[in-house]
Amino acid sequence: MSPDPLECRPLSSHRRGSAFTHRELQVLILVAKGMNTTAIAANLRLPQNTVKHVIGKALSRLGLRNRAHLVAYAFRNGVDLIDLGNEQF
C-alpha cells in the first residue's frame, strides 16, 4: 500500500508555513480560492508558465499529485490560507 500523499509531514523548523516560498504561498492562496492558471497569472501579473512552474515545483518537492492535494497539505500542516489571503503581499 502506498503512503498517503496528504499525510502530515513536519515542516521546516524555522516557522510554520515555511515549507512554501513567498511566491508559492501567493499562488497557493489563489488556488485555494478556486482560481485557474489564467486567473492566477492575471491576478499576480505573472506569465502563465511561471504559475505552472511554481505549482509544479511545489507538487514535486512535496511528492503530491495535484492542486487539491497541495491545498489539503497546506491546511493539514497549519498553513492558514484564509488568513494569509487577507494580507497584502
CA distance 14 to 36: 31
pLDDT reported for residue 83: 67
79 touches 16 (CB < 8 A): yes
- Interval 15-48: pLDDT, tens: 444 678 889 999 999 998 899 999 999 999 999 9
CA distance 38 to 11: 29
The CATH number of the structural domain formed by 22-85 is 1.10.10.10
CA distance 48 to 78: 28
Q: Which residue has the cell 497546506?
A: 74
CA dihedral sign, ordered 84, 42, 60, 68? positive
pTM of the complete model? 0.73
Q: Where are the domains of the chain?
A: 22-85
pLDDT reported for residue 79: 83
